[in-house]
Amino acid sequence: MKSESKSYHHGDLRQALIGATEQILTERGLEGFSMREAARRAGVSPAAPAHHFGDARGLLTAVATGGFLDLQQALRAANAEGGDDRVARIRAQARAYIRFGVAHPARFDLMWRCEALNRADPAYLSASVGAFSLLHEAITGVGVLAEQLCDAAKPGIDVRAVAAWSLVHGFTTLARQGNFDPEMPGLMDGVLATLTV
């Protein structure tokens, strides 16, 4: 209990639990995750994670939300790299997406595990839609809103953005699983050259 009050005192308990969860996911995958183990690694009581996140789904959603925020940051930096050339921005975003997924495999996997996450969580929804919206805007010139992504009956999602996302996500997944080295000379650029939206 003493270590729990120390974490509270420093104001880092939430981040300590998120960090512990990311370690577990990296070492054991989602199937090896438990809130009890996250609490142990963070040096707090087993009840502490529930106090802050409600349940395992809440803690995992916080980790995924952080992943989407970091992905957004990488995509924004890629936009700047692409400058005024729309195709260059799209390809720079695609490279950033691939590199993010390869560099953060456990976090990346969790971000797409809908059954483990609370997809209605406002912070998660904002972060995940925000990441897709950056790609959508690069391709179409128009961002998207959460309501458009969550309700297929509402217009506004351009199929070109979904196709580009599918290509880049598939490439990332194949690379992550060791099917090829994404940094092999010419490979990533060759695949991204097919993005002629």
Mean pLDDT of 17-39: 96
Is residue 101 pLDDT above 60, yes or no?
Answer: yes
> In the 8-state DSSP scheme, what is residue 54?
S
Taking all residues of the chain, what is their mean pLDDT, rounded to a whole number? 85
> Is 70 exceeded by the pLDDT of residue 6?
no
Which among 10, 120, 12, 131 is positioned nearest to 66, based on CA atoms?
Answer: 131
The pLDDT score that the predictor gives to residue 147 is 47
Fold of 57-192: Tetracycline Repressor; domain 2 (1.10.357)
Task: Give the tens place of pLDDT for each residue, 147-176.
Answer: 444 454 445 567 888 888 899 999 999 999
Would you place residue 142 in the very low, low, confident or very high pLDDT band (cuts 50, 70, 90)?
low
Confidence of residue 126 (pLDDT cuts 50, 70, 90): very high
Q: What is the 3-state secondary structure (H, E, C) of 83-150?
A: CCCHHHHHHHHHHHHHHHHHHCHHHHHHHCCHHHCCCCCHHHHHHHHHHHHHHHHHHHCCCCCHHHHH
Q: What local confidence, expressed as pLDDT, does residue 106 receive?
A: 95
Residue ranges covered by each domain of the chain? 1-54, 57-192
pTM, 2 dp = 0.85
The pair of structure tokens assigned to 187 is: 């490979």
Q: What is the pLDDT of residue 10?
A: 42
**What CATH superfamily classification does 1-54 receive?**
Homeodomain-like (1.10.10.60)
Structure-model confidence comparison of residues 194 and 179, the more confident one: 179
Predicted pLDDT at 11: 62
